[in-house]
Chains A and B, each alone.
Chain A
């Protein structure tokens, strides 16, 4: 018998050839593999959202195996004693079973919920990065619009999912949602009764939300995320300005293998962080909330954090009701303004923002280079204003908990929110604007005069001044390039190259250069005992 020899070195090439002969994918794959991605930590924020979405899909699939989306009334007979014998919906009972009687069910539920919170948080952080660096400018406006829509669709996904267990807390949220829909003039009543199939709560809403939550919304999310990523591929990633990086090239790492390996590692890290959160921190303890009954409304009834700004706007809104005396009389309740009009503005305004900015700046150019926040003070200040607005509303959404835990009067919190909502955003605008200008000015100063060396010199006439190390040749000022300006001598090589490595140095520190004029230091002579000659 003859043993066939396998040459390990040629194996990948051979296998590749076999695949190519059958599928013919070499040409498209080559361009994908050779795709270059610029490397910066802030470009990984969107990936957090992407990876937590994958965790959401995986854990969510597990949950559907045990969840029963029905409002049929059952009597609980599971292992959680404080609810045994209580009448509840099948949806709530199956959620309890998921938490207490399905092996690994509770940690899966908690992973699902935590990854939802991480998903929305990562979207926000990612959007802030896009906004503050101007990455949404032409040609990427469409991707900005898709990203904004992804936030609102994620918002719907979160709300429908949050309502599914039919516990008292989510039922309270659902009640508020129905009130919001009812507040819309003219169509409100029809809208509500068509969604709930009659009067709230009806007996079909959980089944409808279920199919929306597990099929329609995820399908929409997957579709939009695919287009979002495809556009990043097509339009190429933006990059920071810097040496060798221009508006027409991309400097970075190849998609395969380095970038792919890094991303795989990052996915593991995201999944790991979510698993740790789910394993250590309890979230949404539905067994404490009890089944939904219209009479049960708990203190500290808040939605998840990304809905809390609407709760806050509702709490801050004065009770201004508008009565219109047409026909039998129409009423526009105060809840209409903070929960329908405000989100309406918040959805449409960001979609239009890239075009508004381009129009105001009369800017029709293609931008592949990012801008540092300090270099566009107006935009940065506007962003700070929006963040302040959102923060005041979000904090007001939890104002009863803050009032209670920090011993502040709830009335004072409400008024602080109302006044803060009007005063803090403009203040944030002004502060951010001034900080941007200050940072810019310092950069320009260093470019013009050089880096502070820390060496103080005294001139013959007795004046003291600090020696500056100019950055350009022959003391000429460098042009402002919108990129990091070295501001310390060791950034200029005075202390040898900076060490690589994040937690620990990867290499030994280089020897500090010794000035040629400096006398070499010799080791001290060894001490010797003086002996007598005898």
Chain B
């Protein structure tokens, strides 16, 4: 029995609608980002959003989406980055330059964690482990080898820091707490490369921090360390101290006649 043309058309339209509904349903089921957007913020993140909306929004934009030419988007940046930038005072930024400078932090520890939580809930990203002691039990010698291979090319052997191109620099590593170092490795702030957990495992990060804390504690058995800057300051010292003292001695001895 031949079907009418109208019935055939209605059936194909129905099939199309069913397929669309199926695809849409699949998409909804497998795209968590969209549902996360709608999830309510945790109380800490709510506090963080309040801080964000008064201090960060002018550059990083509404909901951390970034403003072209002023500040990057923070979606997916993660809490580790926020903790590094805010707890070292680099954010809020003093002025646009080659890179953000360290200064006394504006927010206290609790506020920093609230901000971090907020950015974390905006779109995920790398996060710091719990606790303030992230170096106990690390292998200092192994950490030293990782440090010399990966970190010393910018931060220098003794952690004295070094210059990068066009006014950028790797800062001196000093009086730094474990969380900040971990956050730096995890998030790669400014011009630092990211050392994610697949490049340096959490155990290796622990080793590196153990090494850094050990060398900071190491009180330079040879005397004043001249900034741990190597032969440059040693060369300066030999003229400013050594040769100057000896020329004065020569003046003194020659004056005795």
The interface residues of chain A lying within 8 Å CB-to-CB of B148 are: 168, 289-290, 293, 296, 298
**CB of B177 closer than 8 Å to a CB of A:** no
Q: Which of A81, A402, A503 contacts B140 (CB 8 A)?
A: A81
- Contact, CB under 8 Å: A296 / B152: yes
Knowing A100-B221, A305-B238, the reply to whether A401 touches B153 (Cβ < 8 A) is: no
The interface residues of chain A lying within 8 Å CB-to-CB of B250 are: 41-42, 44-45, 47-48, 266
Which residues of chain A from 272 to 316 have any CB-CB distance to chain B below 8 Å in the complex?
Answer: 273-274, 277-285, 288-290, 293, 295-306, 308
- Contact, CB under 8 Å: A266 / B234: no
Knowing A118-B246, A265-B253, A270-B246, the reply to whether A298 touches B153 (Cβ < 8 A) is: yes
The interface residues of chain A lying within 8 Å CB-to-CB of B161 are: 299, 404
- Contact, CB under 8 Å: B163 / A299: yes
The interface residues of chain B lying within 8 Å CB-to-CB of A273 are: 242, 245-246, 249
- Contact, CB under 8 Å: B229 / A300: yes
Greatest chain B CB density within 10 A among A99, A288, A397, A398 is at A288
Say which one of B38-46, B116-124, B180-188, B211-219 lies at the interface with A.
B211-219
Greatest chain A CB density within 10 A among B152, B157, B218, B233 is at B157
Residues of B within 8 A of A (CB): 98, 140-141, 144-145, 148-149, 152-158, 160-167, 169-170, 211, 214-215, 218, 220-239, 241-243, 245-247, 249-257
Q: Which of B211, B238, B252 contacts A114 (CB 8 A)?
A: B238
Q: Which of B144, B170, B223, B254 contacts A82 (CB 8 A)?
A: B144
Give B218 Cβ to nearest chain A Cβ, in Å.
7
The interface residues of chain A lying within 8 Å CB-to-CB of B229 are: 300, 401, 405
The interface residues of chain A lying within 8 Å CB-to-CB of B230 are: 169, 298, 300-302, 401
Q: Looking across the interface, which residue of chain B has its beta carbon closest to that of A305?
A: B235
**Assembly CA distance A366 to B224 (angstroms):** 50
**CB of A39 closer than 8 Å to a CB of B:** yes
- Contact, CB under 8 Å: A117 / B149: no
**Assembly CA distance A265 to B155 (angstroms):** 45
The interface residues of chain B lying within 8 Å CB-to-CB of A285 are: 158, 220, 222, 225, 228
Interface size, chain A (Cβ < 8 Å) = 80
**Assembly CA distance A411 to B163 (angstroms):** 10
Knowing A48-B246, A114-B242, the reply to whether A281 touches B253 (Cβ < 8 A) is: no
- Contact, CB under 8 Å: A82 / B247: no
Say which one of A83-91, A184-192, A460-468 lies at the interface with B.
A83-91
Knowing A44-B253, A273-B246, A285-B220, the reply to whether A305 touches B234 (Cβ < 8 A) is: yes
- Contact, CB under 8 Å: B156 / A403: no
Greatest chain A CB density within 10 A among B225, B243, B255 is at B243
**CB of A253 closer than 8 Å to a CB of B:** yes
- Contact, CB under 8 Å: A304 / B231: yes
**Assembly CA distance A122 to B244 (angstroms):** 10
Residue interface bits A389-426, CB-to-B below 8 A is 1, else 0: 00000100111111111011111100000000000000
- Contact, CB under 8 Å: B157 / A298: yes
Knowing A82-B211, A118-B246, the reply to whether A281 touches B218 (Cβ < 8 A) is: no
- Contact, CB under 8 Å: A118 / B154: no
Q: Which of A266, A281, A305 contacts B241 (CB 8 A)?
A: A281
Give B214 Cβ to nearest chain A Cβ, in Å.
5
- Contact, CB under 8 Å: B234 / A404: no
- Contact, CB under 8 Å: B242 / A121: yes
Q: Which of B157, B162, B234, B237 contacts A400 (CB 8 A)?
A: B162
Q: Looking across the interface, which residue of chain B has its beta carbon closest to that of A47?
A: B250
- Contact, CB under 8 Å: A308 / B231: yes
Q: Which of B165, B232, B251 contacts A300 (CB 8 A)?
A: B232
**CB of A125 closer than 8 Å to a CB of B:** yes
Which residues of chain A from 207 to 253 have any CB-CB distance to chain B below 8 Å in the complex?
Answer: 253
- Contact, CB under 8 Å: A82 / B224: no
**CB of A72 closer than 8 Å to a CB of B:** no
The interface residues of chain B lying within 8 Å CB-to-CB of A502 are: 251-252, 255-256
**CB of A262 closer than 8 Å to a CB of B:** yes
**Assembly CA distance A37 to B250 (angstroms):** 15
User: Given known contacts A41-B250, A45-B250, A398-B232, what 19 new A-B pairs fall within 8 Å (CB)?
Assistant: A82-B141, A86-B141, A106-B221, A117-B234, A121-B239, A122-B243, A277-B238, A281-B241, A282-B222, A283-B226, A289-B148, A289-B157, A299-B152, A299-B153, A302-B230, A304-B231, A399-B163, A405-B229, A409-B167
Give A501 Cβ to nearest chain B Cβ, in Å.
8
**CB of A43 closer than 8 Å to a CB of B:** yes
Give A467 Cβ to nearest chain B Cβ, in Å.
33
